[in-house]
Structure 1
């Protein structure tokens, strides 16, 4: 594992003695690093278990491996992780990076409530040989719970004897998931240390059990992390220094952290994106990770991160030779464990420089509450309350701007936009409000098929060309537990194109024991996100679509 280095530091230089002092206080679990409020400090102290996780988990690794051996002996060939955000991103990254070792389990991750995503899992697995892993720190995560209900019912209807034996849960002690695991006689229930928060849980049981199912040598990975994780190590001081520099630069307006990854490491960007965005995006401040952008325009608000592994070439830094950039080179793929720890340390240090608590996520909770309010209304009235629409494109797409977008257009053009709006007009209205220092986000509450991801990336690229701004792509509902926090709590520099889908009765799926379907839940999450953006004065345009694939084609054509 090589030390990361920053090139062309510019305004993000920081004194090394400050990095050493921050490391000392961090490992002493001094919550005053982030807050002077006693109540906030107490909450922070209950979220610092990740610091000790490498050592603590090394002692638990034999237990994890023993459960994996039981799973393999029971004849399971596929595992499906049912989770969201911090419970699902690390396993997904490791599955994409490592694949499956011989005689171990194929790992699939279900972190979408779109009916097509659930159906895709149905079609891909042999139910009798599939292990399901409901993963939720609180045990109350709505996505995890409805997925569990759906697959437990499927096992029952398939005549599987003792369906609970097809489940291994990962949760905190005392959660409702732990109780459920006991009631239904799950094959096993891992109880994770409660002092570890979701997005900081990669090197805990939430990450390690799925890794071990893939056949990854978790003991070797943890030993590598332990070798570099002491307070006085160069690795830790380096991470503190980089995190402080990034936070300091963000305070001065350079807050777009743009990732350029070598091929094998590309999936890792999604995990870093969640960690940084959800941790820093609050109180009008934050750092926006830009992941998976192709040929983005150079701008003075960017810092670049180039990551490569082994003999893979460092990605070409497109036009960033004069911009600050961080170079990180891994010796081999098992060093990803050290990268998890490095970025957790860096993110904690970013919070110090930004003078904010990186361990809470207030606007993620807000979005969950919005969704539940919409679902409660649906339960009472049989339909979801929709926003007022300002136009439509045939019978396919309905458009609705936030009040802030409407006002921004009126201020810029001297006249309020007239309704009804066509699709091209709606998109022009959105992009016309972009200013220097802004970014554009495409948020799509759709099943992320390979074809749709290509179409969405094409739309993202067109938005970047049209505006000259950094762009991001979020797939709902997963991004609600990631960049969604920064969208509402971070600086008001984003413009948002939100695509939500009306459920198709022919392809929708019911959820046993719940008064709504997967399609209704997914739409409620999209509407709840848009409502939050509206409430926080964000410039956003909602496109409510009936046929996703046709709609994406029309959107792309309208941006030409």
Structure 2
């Protein structure tokens, strides 16, 4: 791995910050688990630093993981579907998209959408009799994950019978969680109990990432060795410590107004941006501050970017992404070159450590998520109203009219960003429409853009949306589904008081209400008839 930077006029501020980090013994104190690096109160800090030792600690668990992989291959399984959200799903998705399945190993898909169309698509395309399900949740109580589990448990029960159904499920969770009890009750094939002192977004190198990676055929021993080497570098003095240097850059540039961290990646590793998006957004977006990661936004001409950008170029195998025009225009650029895909192991640890150092520089606590619960509480209120009245509350939702859209966009000002939130069925065509809209918005308004499918993004950037300085404009697209799917009240039973469609709608309503309660600018639009055509039509109005 090689890191090069062109920080131009910001280099002196970064150099000063690095001296301060060295003088305050920040690196040494992080490794000593000193919570005062961030805050006087140790709550959700002292018990969230297990990730520092994951590359070393997981060495002892490789044989256990490989044992599971061998037995499910011997049993004829061909596919694995991971059921999880946020930190439980994003690293596995990186492994699936970047490595793919080795010959003779299992194809891995990730389900992190409560949209009925998304759930049904996996029920239709997979041979359930040859599919292993990973139920992954740190807390053991994530509503989306348990809804997925109950639905697919019933599907597998119908396909293979009561005696064999439990063999199709594996759990990854914290010791003592509700999922441990559920796994034992339903006779799961295996329950992996993760180190509870690791937060979800810092768990890529733990069981949460290594179990699905190994099922793909990834050499997890090599991956962890790369992580160990990076961890060793991140214990060195500042001049030889890439994590401390990167963290100082992120913090100092954000304080100087360069708080839109834009990732430009080689195509084969583009999904890494989705993982690092959660890590940085959820870690830094609080107390009126935040670094906004921009993933998946296609590179444009230098004139479409305002002076709030920092570009991170992540290149693989000698590929080169040209940023000459961006650098000539004065935009800071961080270039990271990877010789091979297994250096991802080091990248996971590098960005975790850098985020921790950046938290120190910003004066925030990078391991909690104080604003995430607000949307969950309001979504539960929506569900409770549905169960008592038989319908969801009316939200402040309009039709997707160009006039409403145009009036909303007039609120944009320098330093803002657009967050496009799509509570629709995720698929390639919809993604293309959303990407076209984001680029039109960027090019016209010179503002950063993000795109996320709901409720997936709630577990990724949702914290920053409500915890930063209020600089987002939130464009919410919501569709219902004609062919809804019941969520069983209990696994193995038919009774149902809730559907995936209602859950998705409740989550959209809850998040919109939480954003409004935080005085955020929100436009919620119904795209019932034809989401893709309606999104495309709005993009066409941006001339």
Provide the TM-score with structure 2 as the length reference. Answer: 0.94
Secondary structure class of the residue paired with 2:355: helix
Partner of 2:297: 293
| Displacement after TM superposition at 1:315 (Å) | 4.6
Counterpart Cα distance in 1 of 2:116 and 2:504:
8
Say if 1:292 and 1:235 are closer, same or farther in 2 by CA, change over 3 A: farther
Q: Distance in 1 between matches of 2:506 and 2:254?
A: 33
Residue of structure 1 in register with 2:90 after alignment: 89
Q: What is the distance in 2 between the residues matched to 1:159 and 1:223?
A: 39
State the shift of 1:373 in Å. Answer: 1.0
State how 1:127-142 maps to structure 2 within 5 Å: 127-142=128-143
Distance 2:200 2:412 in 1: 33
Q: Which runs of 5+ in 2 are unaligned?
A: 490-495
Residue in 1 aligned with 2:313?
306
* Equivalent runs, 1:334-349 vs 2, <5 Å: 334-349=342-357
Alignment partner, residue 121 of structure 2: 120
In structure 1, distance between residues paired with 2:419 and 2:477: 11
- Check conservation: 1:439, 1:469, Cα contact below 8 A: yes
Shift of 1:166: 0.2
Is 1:332 the counterpart of 2:368 in the alignment?
Answer: no
Aligned pair partner of 1:495 in 473, 476, 479 = 473
Alignment CA distance shift 1:187-1:318 (3 Å): farther
1:508 matched to 2:484: yes
Distance in 1 (alpha carbons) for counterparts of 2:37 and 2:407: 43
8 A contact 2:86–2:201 mirrored in 1:
yes
Return closer, same or farther for 1:317/1:127 CA change in 2, 3 Å cut-off: farther
The alpha-carbon distance between structure 1 residues 13 and 50, as it changes in their structure 2 partners (threshold 3 A), is same
Distance 1:485 1:287, change over 3 A: same
Question: By how many angstroms is 1:542 displaced?
Answer: 0.5
Secondary structure of 2:313's partner?
Answer: strand
Seen in structure 2, the aligned counterparts of structure 1 residues 388 and 331 have a Cα distance that, compared at 3 Å, is: closer
Residue equivalent to 1:528: 510
Give the superposition deviation at 1:8. Answer: 2.5
- Find the counterpart in structure 2 of residue 462 from structure 1: 440
Mapped to 1, the partners of 2:226 and 2:139 lie a distance apart of 30
The 3 A distance-change label for structure 1 pair 449 and 236 is: farther
Aligned with 1:34 (options 35, 38, 42):
38
CA distance in 2, matches of 1:317, 1:86: 34
Alignment-derived partner of residue 559 in structure 1? 542
Q: Does 1:165 align with 2:147?
A: no
Shift of 1:295: 4.0
3-state DSSP of counterpart to 1:211: helix
* Paired residues for 1:339-378 under 5 Å: 339-378=347-386
| SS of match in other structure, 1:307 | strand
Taking structure 1 as the reference length, what is the TM-score of the superposition? 0.91
Matched, 1:538 2:520: yes
Aligned length: 525
Q: Is 1:241 aligned with 2:249?
A: no
Q: State the Cα RMSD in Å.
A: 1.7
- What corresponds to 1:147 in structure 2? 148
Partner of 2:406: 428
Question: Partners of 2:63 and 2:527 in 1: how far apart?
Answer: 49
Q: How far apart are residue 138 of structure 1 and its match?
A: 0.5
Residues 155-204 of structure 1: per-residue CA shift (max 9 Å, x gap): 12224342111001000000010001111110000000000110000000
Q: Deviations over 1:410-438 (max 9, x none)?
A: xxxxxxxxxxxxx1111111211111111
Report how far residue 340 of structure 1 moved: 0.2
Once the two structures are overlaid, the 10-residue window that deviates more, 535-544 or 140-149, is 535-544
Shift of 1:388: 4.0
1:179 is matched with which residue: 178, 181, 197? 181
Partner Cα separation in structure 1 for residue 386 and residue 188 of structure 2: 32
In the alignment, does 2:51 pair up with 1:50?
A: yes
Deviation larger for 250-259 or 86-95: 250-259
The equivalent residue for 2:105 is 104
Quick one: structure 1 residues 476 and 320, their matched pair in 2 at CA, closer, same or farther if it must change by over 3 Å?
A: farther
Query: What corresponds to 2:493 in structure 1?
Result: none
Post-superposition shift, 1:346? Answer: 0.6
Report the more deviating stretch, 3-12 or 350-359.
3-12
| Offset at residue 320 of structure 1 (A) | 3.7
Query: Which whole-Å deviations, capped at 9, do the CAs of 1:231-261 have from their partners, x for residues lacking one?
Result: 1277972211221221122122210101111
Gaps of 5+ in 1: 398-422
User: What is the DSSP-based 3-state SS (H/G/I as helix, E as strand, rest coil) of the residue aligned with 1:473?
Assistant: strand
The 5-angstrom pairing of residues 413-492 of structure 1 reads 423-492=401-470
Asked whether the equivalents of residues 478 and 524 of structure 2 are also in contact (C-alpha less than 8 Å), the reply is: yes
Per-residue CA shift, 1:44-92, capped at 9, x if unaligned?
A: 1101000000000011111111111111111110000000000000000
